[in-house]
Amino acid sequence: MSSENKTKLAFAIVAGLLLIIGMAQSWSVALGIFNLCLISAVMALGVNMQWGYAGLLNVGIMGFAALGGMAAVLVSQAPVAAAWEAGWAKLLLAAIFFIATVIGTRFCYRKMSPGRHRTISMTAIIIIGLLLTRYWLDPAVASIEAIESAKTGFLGGMGLPIIFSWIFGGFVAAGIAWVIGKVALGLRADYLAIATLGISEIIIAVMKNEDWLTRGVKNVTGLSRPVPYEIDLQSSEWFINLVSWWHSGALSALNEADQAELLKQAVIESSSIFVKLCYSGLFASVLVIVLLLSVKALNSPWGRMMRAIRDNEIAAGAMGKDVTRRHLEIFVIGSAVVGVAGAMLTTLDGQFTPTSYQPLRFTFLIWVMVIVGGSGNNMGSVLGGFLIWVIWIEAEPVGVWLMQFGTSWMDEGNAVRIHLIDNAQHMRLFFMGLVLLLVLRFSPGGILPEVVRKRS
């Protein structure tokens, strides 16, 4: 089968799965899954840039997704004026001291010759700088967190529409990725993986503890939305007219009282579907933009250079390519895309909960998407994002159903049966691992492998 037909077939299968879910469960559920598929696909595209184009093993995806989520809070929440007033001066001083520490350390590292003197002065600068930073930061944090800690207790955000956070989230993730990349990209593949895994945990730890910035484990709920609220839709005339037009066939067959009842029901149902459709439209536009840019980039001279570096760093270096810079570049771009997806996810959830970021869900699952979909192939990543998310969600009901079916010969109250059915949901981790191992073994390039153009 040609690779184009294979792509079409694979996406047709995913569409079929979503249709089946829509008919068997409900359209609202199917749309909910579809929206998360779109976000997953964007995330997978970001990882694919790093791994598929450039061979960089970033196992810190969770951290960048969380940075995007934090951006959603920082953009959309209203600023807490009292907190700013209480803490801005000290916070500014702390920031100045911190930046001075970093610059001083760098200066020492650059200008002094390696040896004991340099080590001692660098250590001294770091310790004194951090103590000074803490000296100003601690009271600033205390005064910010003291202000209405049950309601706010943080600086708040910029009070802009949340959709701007998708761009801002990309920039935040890119900025942090630049710092991490500067530090960690020189490492060998497996060291880079472990280092990024650790850095992502540090990012989450910071978000959980720096209440003045993110409210920490108190979470930020009730984020604003880029789409209308269901409750507003249900009372707006144009929407009711739209629903009654859509259902006009079913409505005309009933008498007036039943009509009103059915219409009310339909309006409530449709409002939730309409909201989800709005999200789908937004997410799909982002996905299309990212995908188009990725395809363009991968086929450009820049993309060829990236693959050349991936396949043979030494040869590419010998041809005059600056491997370190290119690695940094792709690391930043890929992380930015993950950050955008993270901001979209928090927007969809309507809340930012640092504790919900767990490596299995936010790092390793995205990796399964990229590997199973096909690393180095953009369409493959999108497919992986869709397919794996559908499996991840549906493995739970299907697993429970299978367990019920498999144990139907046992007593209702049998302890083993209850245990099996209760814990069936955890089998989805098992299935994910199995899918990953099977694909890795029997189709190492993924479902849609990288297309290698042969020179004619």
Partner 1 sequence: MEAMTDIANAIVLLLNFIVVPGLSYGSQLALGALGITLIFGILRFANFAHGDTMAFGTMVTILVTWWLQSKGVSLGPLPTALLALPVGIVFTIAIMVATDKLVYQHYRHHKAVPVTFMIASMGVMFMMNGIVRFIIGPNDQRFLDGERFIVRARDFKASTGLSEGLSIKVSQGLTIVIAVLLVLALFWFLQRTRTGKAMRAYSDNEDLALLSGVNPDRVVLVTWILAAILATIAGTLYGLDKSFKPFTYLQLLLPMFAAAIVGGIGNPIGAILGGYVIAFSEVMVTYAYKKVFVYLLPGSLEPSSLMQLLSTDYKFAVSFIILVLVLLVKPTGILKGKVI
Part in contact with partner 1 (CB under 8 A); list of ranges 9-17, 221-229, 294-302, 362-370: 362-370
CA-to-CA distance for 285 and 454, rounded, in angstroms? 32
Q: Give the residue among 393, 337, 106, 298 at the shortest CA–CA distance from 98.
A: 106
Q: Does 209 bind partner 1 (CB under 8 A)?
A: yes
Among 206, 262, 291, 398, binds partner 1 (CB under 8 A): 206
Instruction: Give the end-to-end CA distance of the chain in Å, rounded to a whole number.
Output: 20
Nearer CB in complex with partner 1: 286/370:
370
Q: Which stretch binds partner 1 (CB under 8 A): 187-195, 270-278, 292-300, 328-336?
A: 187-195
CA distance 42 to 251: 40
SS3 call for 321: coil
* Count of residues in contact with partner 1, rule CB under 8 A: 45
Write out the H or E segment, with its range, that includes residue 43. helix 27-48
Three-class secondary structure of residue 149 per DSSP: coil
Which position among 8, 296, 304, 426 is part of the footprint of partner 1 (CB under 8 A)?
426
Position 199 contacts partner 1 (CB under 8 A): yes
Closest CA to 168 of 293, 339, 285: 339
Distances (CA, A) of 60 to 135, 244, 305, 327, 357: 31, 48, 25, 16, 11
Does position 437 bind partner 1 by CB under 8 A? yes
Contact, 167 vs 69, CB < 8 A?
no
Stretch that binds partner 1, among 42-50, 219-227, 343-351, 426-434 (CB under 8 A): 426-434
Q: Between residues 183 and 288, which has the closer beta carbon with respect to partner 1?
A: 183
* Residue 455 in tokens: 């020179």
Q: C-beta of 62: minimal distance to partner 1 in Å?
A: 12
Among 20, 289, 360, 410, binds partner 1 (CB under 8 A): 360
Tell me, residue by residue from 145 to 184, as one string, x for binding to partner 1 by CB under 8 A and - for no binding.
--------------------------------------xx
Of residues 191 and 401, the one with the C-beta less far from partner 1: 191
CB-wise, 159 or 433, nearer to partner 1? 433
Instruction: Choose among 400, 449, 394: nearest CA to 422.
Output: 400
DSSP code, position 280: H
Cα 55 from chain centroid (whole Å): 20
Report the interface residues with partner 1, using CB under 8 A. Answer: 57, 138, 183-184, 187-191, 193-195, 197-199, 201-202, 205-206, 208-209, 358-360, 364, 367-368, 371, 422-424, 426-434, 436-437, 440-441, 444
